[in-house]
Amino acid sequence: MASMPTNPATTAAETDPRLHTGLLVHLSTVSADFLEPTLENLAAAFSNQSVLVAIPELENLGSLKSFQNLRLLPYSPATTSTTSWVLTAADYFNTYKLAQENNASACLLLGTDSHTMAAESIRNLAYATLSGPTDLVVSRYHPGPREGLVNSAILYPVTRALFSARPRYPLAIDLGLSLRMTERMATLAQRYTAANQEDSLLWPISEAAAAGLSIAEAEVPKRDTPQPTPVDLNALLGQILSSFFSDIDSRAVFWQRMRSVLPAREIADAPLAVEHLDVSSMLDSFHLAYSNLHEIWALVLPPHTLLGLKRLSVVSRDSFRMADSLWARIVYDFVLAYRLRTINRSHLLGALTPLYLAWVASHLILIQSGVAAERHIEDVARAFEADKPYLVSRWRWPDRFNP
d(CA 168, CA 143): 11
d(CA 324, CA 329): 9
Task: Write the single-letter amino acid at 355.
Answer: L
Give the distance, in angstroms, between the CA of residue 83 and the centroid of all CA atoms in the same chain.
Answer: 15
Helix or strand holding residue 110 (H, E) = strand 106-110
Helix or strand holding residue 377 (H, E) = helix 373-386
Which pLDDT value is given to residue 290?
96
Which pLDDT value is given to residue 197?
86
d(CA 200, CA 63): 34
Helix or strand holding residue 323 (H, E) = none
* pLDDT tens for the chain, residues 1 to 403: 333 333 333 333 444 444 455 899 999 888 888 899 999 999 999 988 889 999 988 766 666 788 889 999 999 888 888 778 899 999 999 999 999 999 999 999 999 999 999 999 999 999 999 988 899 999 999 988 888 999 999 999 999 999 999 999 999 999 999 999 999 999 999 998 888 888 899 999 999 999 999 999 999 998 998 878 767 899 999 999 999 999 999 999 999 997 777 777 777 655 555 667 889 999 999 999 999 999 999 999 999 999 999 999 999 998 999 999 999 999 999 999 999 999 999 999 999 999 999 999 999 999 998 899 999 999 999 999 999 999 999 998 876 555 4
Which pLDDT value is given to residue 126?
96
Quick one: DSSP state of residue 51? E
Give the distance, in angstroms, between the CA of residue 84 and the centroid of all CA atoms in the same chain.
Answer: 14
Give the distance, in angstroms, between the CA of residue 62 and the centroid of all CA atoms in the same chain.
Answer: 35
**Alpha helices in 140-178, H assignment, sequence order:** 149-150, 156-163
Task: Write the single-letter amino acid at 40.
Answer: E
CA distances from 395 to 46, 160, 165 (A): 48, 18, 21
Residues 28 and 75: beta-carbon distance below 8 Å: no
Residues 176 and 136: beta-carbon distance below 8 Å: yes
Residues 290 and 384: beta-carbon distance below 8 Å: no
Using alpha carbons, select from 257, 167, 149, 256 the residue that is nearest to residue 203: 167
**Alpha helices in 23-118, H assignment, sequence order:** 32-45, 89-101
Task: Write the single-letter amino acid at 352.
Answer: L
Which pLDDT value is given to residue 5?
35
Longest dimension (CA), the chain: 76
d(CA 19, CA 130): 7
Domain ranges, ordered by start, for the chain: 17-229, 280-401
Quick one: DSSP state of residue 275? -
Using alpha carbons, select from 228, 210, 214 the residue that is nearest to residue 177: 214
| CB neighbourhood size of 390 (10 A) | 16
Which pLDDT value is given to residue 312?
96
Instruction: Give the fold, CATH level 3, of 17-229.
Output: Spore Coat Polysaccharide Biosynthesis Protein SpsA; Chain A (3.90.550)
